Chains A and B, each alone.
Chain A
Amino acid sequence: DGGITQSPKYLFRKEGQNVTLSCEQNLNHDAMYWYRQDPGQGLRLIYYSQIVNDFQKGDIAEGYSVSREKKESFPLTVTSAQKNPTAFYLCASNPGTGITDTQYFGPGTRLTVL
């Protein structure tokens, strides 16, 4: 089955800890994205990558970091510098910006800071 997987489904973090959220896709898509969703605020772009070994900051990149060493993987690290990390995190992928603008989403990771 082709698709996007995210793990874990739920994650609990103590203040001051870094945590890494996993995102994997087997769709052979070039572009991958990380969004944060808070109640009543829609989706906000954290980072995106249109090609391996390259990525750009989105609108709310502070306190987050990413890597894109493989086409199929785009992990997101939430660092202790992120002041309010409790949120629902969604990963998405896109075949390539010259093909379509449609992004396909994974099931999400809900992060809670204790």
Chain B
Amino acid sequence: EDKVVQSPLSLVVHEGDTVTLNCSYEVTNFRSLLWYKQEKKAPTFLFMLTSSGIEKKSGRLSSILDKKELSSILNITATQTGDSAIYLCAGGTSYGKLTFGQGTILTVHP
């Protein structure tokens, strides 16, 4: 059975702090690792990492895939209150399924 585990499950920081969210996966026919941000309703896509793209960056957010360790991290620098959300990690397979982790609840205080 495919499994994705995220840590920590929740995190409280102050504005300006840097945070690192972790994701480990055991996914048969693994093809990609995806990160999503969920603020209130629909998760919104952040990054997709594959063998041909193991590092992605967008503004203050960056992510790295470690295929040897079967893990990924999501870094957020200079956090803002608008970064408060649930961050979801998912492992993608060659047959079109995603397996999601439990999510990390990030709270950024002013």
Contacts and interface: CB of A to CB of B under 8 A. Distances in A.
Tell me whether A and B are bound partners. Answer: yes
A48 interface: yes
B77 to A, nearest CB: 24
A25 interface: no
Contacts of A33: 98
B100 A43 contact: yes
Interface residues of A, number: 24
Contact of A102 (B45, B93, B95, B100): B45
Interface centre among A50, A94, A103, by most chain B C-beta atoms within 10 angstroms, is A103
Nearest to B44: A105
Interface range on chain B (Cβ under 8 Å from partner): 20 to 34
A27 B31 CA distance: 24
B12 interface: no
Interface of B is mostly: strand
B96 A44 contact: no
B72 to A, nearest CB: 14
B88 interface: yes
Interface in B52-100: 88, 90, 92-100
17 contacts: A31-B96, A41-B102, A42-B88, A42-B101, A43-B88, A43-B90, A45-B98, A48-B96, A90-B42, A94-B96, A101-B31, A101-B32, A101-B96, A102-B34, A102-B45, A104-B45, A108-B41
Interface of A: 31, 33, 35, 40-45, 48, 50, 58, 90, 94, 97, 100-108
Interface of B: 4, 6, 9, 31-32, 34, 36, 41-45, 48, 88, 90, 92-103
7 A-B pairs with least C-beta separation: A97-B96, A101-B92, A43-B100, A105-B42, A42-B100, A101-B32, A42-B102
